[in-house]
A and B are shown apart, each in its own frame.
Chain A
């Protein structure tokens, strides 16, 4: 069965303090690994899709990377508006079933 484990569960950063969130996974036949951002009271918002080891994607202060066993979401010089829960998810096999991790709750303090 596919498994997604995210760490840490919560992370508190000072504004400008760069860090990384981890997503480790086990899957038979990865079709895609996804990162989402979820703000309180809202649905998750899509950030990136990664397909194969070595791939990287960037968007503003966020950069996602992928290896054969884990993915990292690097946050460079975060701002308070980056505070949210970041969810990792993966898709394997045939139909579009996606398995989500429990998320990392990020708080960026001014």
Chain B
């Protein structure tokens, strides 16, 4: 039973399309995150939700909109996709910083 699961694992789409990535966790953690890992493998935070409330929004274009329908889910919707959005997107959760983050396996988004 995967602790943090993301779907889809791979996503290839054309410029200008709208797409969503879904994240579900069964750990009961209060805080969920979206991270972007670019081609240089640099991980950068995009959003953080705590109990369905947005607490971190890091200078991300407003084409990106996170949605947390409940504590176990955090989805990422991207409008008008651009070539520069190609990256691996990771969902993560945390309970206590002593135990760090639990990451999903990532969604590789390729915009063509």
Contact = CB atoms under 8 A, between A and B. Distances in A.
A44 interface: yes
Nearest to B43: A100
B interface residue count range (under 10 / 10 to 19 / 20 to 34 / 35 or more): 20 to 34
Interface stretch (A19-27, A31-39, A59-67, A70-78): A31-39
A43 B56 contact: no
Interface string A83-110: 0010101010001111110110000000
A75 to B, nearest CB: 19
Interface residues of A, number: 24
A57 to B, nearest CB: 11
Contacts of A36: 100-101
B106 interface: yes
Contact of A102 (B41, B97, B105): B41
A31 B97 contact: yes
Contacts of B34: none
Nearest to B98: A49
Contacts of A95: 48, 55-56
Residue from the set A87, A100, A102, A103 with the largest chain B CB neighbour count within 10 Å: A100
A87 B97 contact: no
Contacts of A91: 97
A24 to B, nearest CB: 16
A100 B106 contact: no
Interface of B: 4, 31, 40-45, 48, 50, 55-56, 58, 90, 92, 94, 97-106
Interface of A: 31-32, 34, 36, 41-47, 49, 85, 87, 89, 91, 95-100, 102-103
Given A98-B101, A102-B40, A103-B41, 9 more contacts: A32-B97, A36-B101, A43-B92, A43-B105, A96-B31, A96-B55, A96-B94, A97-B58, A102-B41
